[in-house]
Chain A
Amino acid sequence: MTKNLRVKTGKAIDETYRISFKFNGTTYYGFKGDTLSSALLANDVHLVGRSFKYHRPRGIMTAGSEEPNAIVQLHDNSSRTEPNVRATEVEIYEGLEASSQNCWPSVKFDIGGINNFLSPLLPAGFYYKTFMWPASFWEKYEYFIRRSAGLGKSPKEKDPDVYEHKYIHCDVLVIGSGISGIMSAKTAAKNGFKTLLVEEKPNLGGSTIYQNSDFFKINNQNSSSWLEKELNEIKKLGNLEIKTRTSVAAFHGYNFLLARENFTDHLPIEQRSNKTRQKLLKIRAKKVITATGSIERPMIFDNNDRPGILLSSAIKKYADFFGVASGEENILFTNNDSAYETAISLIQKGIKIKAIIDNREYVDSKLHYEVEKNNIKIFKGYTITDTFGYKRINKISIKQLSKDGQKVVGSKINLSCDCLGVSGGWTPAVHLFTQSGGKLKFREEDQVFIPNIYPSDQLSVGSCNGDFTLEEILKNTSKSLKEFLNIENTEYENLEILSSFNKSKRNIWLLPSDKVFGKTKSFVDYQNDATAKDIKLALREGFRSIEHVKRYTTTGMGTDQGKLGNMHALGIISETAGAKMGELGTTTFRPPYTPLTFGTIVGRNVGEFFDIFRKTPIHNWHVKNKAEFENVGQWKRAWYYPKKNENMHQAVQRESKAARESAGILDASTLGKIDIQGTDASEFLNRVYTNAWSKLAIGKCRYGLMLNEDGMVYDDGVTTRLDENHYIMTTTTGGAANVMAKLEDYLQTEWPELDVYLTSVTDHFATVSICGPSSKKIVSEVIPDLNFSDESFPHMSFKNAKIGKINCRVMRISFTGEHSYEINVQANYGKSVWEKCMEVGKDYNITPYGTETMHLLRAEKGFIIVGQDTDATMTPIDLQMDWIVSKKKYDFIGKRSLYRSDTIKEDRKQLVGLITDNPNEILEEGAQIVADINKSPIEMLGHVTSSYYSPNLKKSIALGVVRGGKNMMGQKLIVPMEKKNINVTVADPVFLDKENKRLNA
């Protein structure tokens, strides 16, 4: 039987509403309003997981999003399973199933626990050092490390939930609904600002909402009652929108913030369908008020990580807010007044406190006297030196601190307990402030970093700004709001405040122990198992920068980003290295503040909406005729059209033969098309292409090569002169948008004097390309009014024509080396023109072919594909295309780079043809090309860029780039593969019809 540790009704709990849930297979009960952690504690369950490296048993430590230990997997083995969830943030619901992570085979018996005893072998930098061992060692360890270190399991099924993105614009965004956040939201909204208040928890009010003691009063009421009234009032304000369960993940520049609003995670699974699970809010706020509060610091002493050790403030919250005692025999350990607040709450609830250990020798505060009145033993000037209990704390040892706090003195006292609350003071939650670019300053008197320089129109209020007493919070928040919102006064200026918190504190970053330092395990980062010893080791090994120490020890690199221990890490570095805290700086907190689900990040952009895909006007015909498709940029292009039982190779062989022997038809609509007009259009083309354009006659077409300014090939295509001042340029399918942008850039910035206008018309035209010996007969029948004789319509020329009433542009150009025509029509006529060609072509064995056959046909002719045979390091000279580079033109983009010392080198990689000794051996694209395989290391000369079996030549052909290849014609080279070496001969890249006879066949 488990114990019931439920005490008096907690503020958040509805005891009339009982909820059952499972943890590690056992059924437990909690109440509506419980978090998984409060419900577990109510059932006396502390042990929830194992630590990452040493697999030490770990328990619930906090009551908030800073939780490092209580990390669970929800609904394991279901489509909704989620790893790395903080038990402190899970609201329980009927049917909730959670299980421990990081333990194998179970949380109570964990095989990785052996790491705890091996820990001398697992020092800081263990993983780095392991990686540096011979690879063969690592492979052996990897299996065990992965198996035992796992950070939860990702779902294997499709996410059944729906996620959304939403833009929000507001005048004032308030982050956090503690007392200062509520004051800010109310003041902003009442003064006419459109205000949004976001709170990560399901309820408003922060920690003040359960502050019921007589020691904290506003206008003679308990601070909780006072705040309760404020909450009722703000809910009526029309100008204020309140979002709970909404956590700000990122605070970017210009007051742009990302937040996650959660809608269904607190509902039973069966109530979640047809609802949006989470929304990613993209918030643009004119002003941001950060009221993110502060996080209590643990203390660094030997074995400070056992289950049953919690933050003192968490014990208070579990008691006051959830009505749960975290233990039956409690000890509190503190260096400041906070533990006494907790003690007073526990006394009120009748929860036993065995003792309080206080680092301070002299304590003069009302809270302390009140606790003393209740006959609770207080050890002043003492520290904990060790703790005991494997799966739950059962005993502590304490000793007196020396005057300087560096040593322990006197005799050891042992105290039994089942719960230990620690308070090392408070750390302002400045994570979002620093994400936004804010600069911090270090406040010596209480050893905290607080906001100093704001990078945008924003304000930090409350304890995240370093105001820790009720009086400071109320007064300073009111004062700052007046200035920030530029208003005359606030309603909070004349409050009567009773605040009993004494700010005195005895800060010792690393508490002394009576053990040898090397034998202690004082955890600084609980989630990543980094200890004080690790940090000192890193310093001994020479690391100085806090960022380096962080990476080497992995301190602060867990999913909690070290929200608890980062300050201690800094403190220990500061003390050990003798550097001032303020000068060390802090590590950078990066978004997200708390982890986001992938679902939230992608929103609705899933499945077919993940990326845009573009279809040609003829797409449905390809689908109907069973084409396989390939992605080219965002386009879906017909790849090949397999007939019954054909594989890709067979289909491509058939299509290629038909294209050369009868007729082939290709959908070329995806090619980029740019309409160029203006009196300087010819001059413009002269400047962007390597060849000359001024003398191109109207009605003629020309192939052009475009370079980058560095001389490397950027794009290619055929441009046609439609009229005196009118051209249509085609680009590669993938390069269209970039070419357009680049040309616009030059026109607007370098050559604004040119009278040229560019319009992208890619989507406006459909292009049907027909090639092969029968192509002329087919187009003559499709367009009977046009004279297709070679005299009237030679290769590389263009004509306007009509198919019935449809206007079309016909170009006689060829990418296959065959006699061929391209018919361009308005996009919406594309499919009907294609179908007409198919119908007419039936008698001529017209065969639709896809991109694979197109690539094969052009490779037979040695035509390059930019991006396949080139890779932004190839000049036209490297491609053996010297013929296209004008010697006469004064300038064009990239010209000067063609005779830089580097580009004129003889031994650059150059494009060549490759013929395998065995004509049936097909090279693998990307394979390396070498000359000598006996030399070590083998010198890589280049690689294969395109490779096919040519049915028309009945042999394997390939293109490749080879260092100095131009002068290696006929030379034997080797393509070494995993299982054999393939012998090849360097050849002319034009394999078929070198005389171009087929163009006019």
Chain B
Amino acid sequence: MFIIHCPFCGEREQSEFKSGGEAHIVRPRQPTELSDDEWAEYLFMRKNIKGIQFERWNHAHGCRKWFNMVRDTSNDEIKAVYKMGEKPPIK
């Protein structure tokens, strides 16, 4: 079970958090302009990487804030956490 550093609260047990899937998928500002394929790309397609993955997490049983995490899925090492809207500190 991870120890996650919430950018607002500090280190907490994983059980306080909820994972929210892949990060940096922006909801299209003009969905009506998109083709079915383009909309499906946004709606359904998610990466499942073995290695460095960018994820959304929510401190659900804490401050309720969403934030981003960079995690190596091969060994669960958390490389970084950063607030929504901030640039990832790692490429």
Binding site for B on A (CB under 8 A): 252-254, 256, 284, 437, 455, 709-710, 741, 744-745, 748-750, 752, 890-891, 895-897, 900-901
Q: Quick one: closest A residue to B3, CB to CB? A: A254
A residues in contact with B64, CB < 8 Å: 744
Whether B76 and A437, one on each chain, are in contact in the complex, defined by CB atoms closer than 8 angstroms, is yes
Q: Quick one: closest A residue to B34, CB to CB? A: A896
Q: Could you list 18 examples of A-B contacts with CB < 8 Å?
A: A253-B1, A253-B2, A254-B2, A284-B3, A455-B75, A455-B76, A741-B18, A741-B60, A744-B66, A745-B20, A748-B65, A749-B66, A891-B31, A896-B32, A896-B39, A900-B36, A900-B39, A901-B36
Binding site for A on B (CB under 8 A): 1-3, 18, 20, 26-28, 30-32, 34, 36, 39-40, 43, 56, 58, 60, 64-66, 75-76, 84-85
- Minimal beta-carbon separation of A478 from chain B (angstroms): 29
Whether A895 and B58, one on each chain, are in contact in the complex, defined by CB atoms closer than 8 angstroms, is no
Whether B32 and A891, one on each chain, are in contact in the complex, defined by CB atoms closer than 8 angstroms, is yes
A residues in contact with B2, CB < 8 Å: 253-254
Q: Quick one: closest B residue to A439, CB to CB? A: B75
- Minimal beta-carbon separation of B13 from chain A (angstroms): 8
Q: Quick one: closest B residue to A710, CB to CB? A: B43
Whether A741 and B1, one on each chain, are in contact in the complex, defined by CB atoms closer than 8 angstroms, is no
Whether A709 and B43, one on each chain, are in contact in the complex, defined by CB atoms closer than 8 angstroms, is yes
Instruction: Answer whether A748 and B75 are a contact pair too, CB < 8 Å, given A895-B31, A896-B32, A900-B39.
Output: no
Q: Which of B26, B34, B60, B84 contacts A748 (CB 8 A)?
A: B84
A897 to B40, CA, bound (A): 9
- Minimal beta-carbon separation of B14 from chain A (angstroms): 8
B residues in contact with A901, CB < 8 Å: 36
Q: Quick one: closest A residue to B1, CB to CB? A: A256
Whether A896 and B31, one on each chain, are in contact in the complex, defined by CB atoms closer than 8 angstroms, is yes
- Minimal beta-carbon separation of A377 from chain B (angstroms): 54
Q: Quick one: closest B residue to A437, CB to CB? A: B75
- Minimal beta-carbon separation of A453 from chain B (angstroms): 9
Instruction: Answer whether A253 and B31 are a contact pair too, CB < 8 Å, given A710-B43, A900-B39.
Output: no
A752 to B58, CA, bound (A): 15
B residues in contact with A900, CB < 8 Å: 36, 39-40
B residues in contact with A256, CB < 8 Å: 1
Whether B85 and A252, one on each chain, are in contact in the complex, defined by CB atoms closer than 8 angstroms, is no
- Minimal beta-carbon separation of B4 from chain A (angstroms): 9
Instruction: Answer whether A741 and B58 are a contact pair too, CB < 8 Å, given A896-B34, A900-B40.
Output: yes
Q: Quick one: closest A residue to B39, CB to CB? A: A896
A residues in contact with B56, CB < 8 Å: 749
B residues in contact with A895, CB < 8 Å: 31-32
B residues in contact with A897, CB < 8 Å: 39, 43
A981 to B72, CA, bound (A): 57
Instruction: Answer whether A752 and B84 are a contact pair too, CB < 8 Å, given A254-B76, A437-B75, A437-B76.
Output: yes
- Minimal beta-carbon separation of B58 from chain A (angstroms): 7
A residues in contact with B1, CB < 8 Å: 252-254, 256
A residues in contact with B26, CB < 8 Å: 750
Q: Quick one: closest A residue to B44, CB to CB? A: A710
Q: Quick one: closest B residue to A895, CB to CB? A: B31
A896 to B76, CA, bound (A): 36
- Minimal beta-carbon separation of A177 from chain B (angstroms): 26
Whether B31 and A748, one on each chain, are in contact in the complex, defined by CB atoms closer than 8 angstroms, is no
Q: Quick one: closest B residue to A257, CB to CB? A: B1
A710 to B64, CA, bound (A): 24
- Minimal beta-carbon separation of B39 from chain A (angstroms): 5
Q: Quick one: closest A residue to B32, CB to CB? A: A896
Q: Quick one: closest A residue to B76, CB to CB? A: A253
- Minimal beta-carbon separation of B67 from chain A (angstroms): 9
- Minimal beta-carbon separation of B62 from chain A (angstroms): 13
Q: Quick one: closest A residue to B64, CB to CB? A: A744
- Minimal beta-carbon separation of A569 from chain B (angstroms): 27
B residues in contact with A709, CB < 8 Å: 27, 43
Residue of B3, B31, B36 ringed by the most chain A CB atoms within 10 A: B31
A residues in contact with B60, CB < 8 Å: 741
A residues in contact with B28, CB < 8 Å: 896
- Minimal beta-carbon separation of A168 from chain B (angstroms): 13
Q: Quick one: closest B residue to A900, CB to CB? A: B36
Give the 10 A-B CB pairs with smallest separation, nearest first.
A896-B31, A256-B1, A748-B66, A750-B27, A253-B76, A896-B39, A254-B3, A749-B66, A254-B2, A252-B1
Other than A253-B76, A896-B28, give 15 A-B pairs with Cβ distance below 8 A.
Answer: A252-B1, A254-B1, A254-B3, A455-B76, A741-B18, A741-B60, A744-B64, A744-B66, A749-B56, A752-B85, A895-B31, A896-B34, A896-B39, A900-B40, A901-B36
A133 to B56, CA, bound (A): 48
B residues in contact with A710, CB < 8 Å: 43
- Minimal beta-carbon separation of A855 from chain B (angstroms): 31
- Minimal beta-carbon separation of B83 from chain A (angstroms): 10
A residues in contact with B20, CB < 8 Å: 745
- Minimal beta-carbon separation of A417 from chain B (angstroms): 50
B residues in contact with A890, CB < 8 Å: 32
Q: Quick one: closest B residue to A893, CB to CB? A: B27
A residues in contact with B36, CB < 8 Å: 900-901
A256 to B75, CA, bound (A): 14
A890 to B30, CA, bound (A): 8
Q: Quick one: closest B residue to A758, CB to CB? A: B64
- Minimal beta-carbon separation of B35 from chain A (angstroms): 10
- Minimal beta-carbon separation of A170 from chain B (angstroms): 15
Q: Quick one: closest B residue to A902, CB to CB? A: B36
- Minimal beta-carbon separation of B45 from chain A (angstroms): 13
A residues in contact with B40, CB < 8 Å: 900
A residues in contact with B65, CB < 8 Å: 748
A891 to B40, CA, bound (A): 16
A residues in contact with B30, CB < 8 Å: 891
- Minimal beta-carbon separation of A276 from chain B (angstroms): 23
A837 to B3, CA, bound (A): 52
A900 to B39, CA, bound (A): 9
A748 to B2, CA, bound (A): 24
Q: Quick one: closest B residue to A258, CB to CB? A: B1
- Minimal beta-carbon separation of A253 from chain B (angstroms): 5
- Minimal beta-carbon separation of B7 from chain A (angstroms): 12
B residues in contact with A284, CB < 8 Å: 3
- Minimal beta-carbon separation of A204 from chain B (angstroms): 29
- Minimal beta-carbon separation of A896 from chain B (angstroms): 4
- Minimal beta-carbon separation of B66 from chain A (angstroms): 5
A437 to B76, CA, bound (A): 9
Q: Quick one: closest B residue to A901, CB to CB? A: B36
- Minimal beta-carbon separation of B50 from chain A (angstroms): 14
- Minimal beta-carbon separation of B30 from chain A (angstroms): 8
- Minimal beta-carbon separation of B91 from chain A (angstroms): 21
Q: Quick one: closest B residue to A751, CB to CB? A: B27
A901 to B65, CA, bound (A): 36
Q: Quick one: closest B residue to A711, CB to CB? A: B43
B residues in contact with A741, CB < 8 Å: 18, 58, 60
B residues in contact with A891, CB < 8 Å: 30-32
Q: Quick one: closest B residue to A255, CB to CB? A: B3
- Minimal beta-carbon separation of B87 from chain A (angstroms): 15
B residues in contact with A749, CB < 8 Å: 56, 66, 84
Instruction: Answer whether A745 and B32 are a contact pair too, CB < 8 Å, given A709-B43, A896-B39.
Output: no
A901 to B76, CA, bound (A): 39
- Minimal beta-carbon separation of B11 from chain A (angstroms): 11
A897 to B41, CA, bound (A): 12
A256 to B15, CA, bound (A): 12
- Minimal beta-carbon separation of B65 from chain A (angstroms): 7
B residues in contact with A750, CB < 8 Å: 26-27
A495 to B26, CA, bound (A): 65
Q: Quick one: closest B residue to A252, CB to CB? A: B1
- Minimal beta-carbon separation of B8 from chain A (angstroms): 11
Q: Quick one: closest B residue to A709, CB to CB? A: B43
- Minimal beta-carbon separation of A752 from chain B (angstroms): 7
A906 to B76, CA, bound (A): 46
B residues in contact with A254, CB < 8 Å: 1-3, 76
Q: Quick one: closest B residue to A737, CB to CB? A: B60
Q: Quick one: closest A residue to B38, CB to CB? A: A896
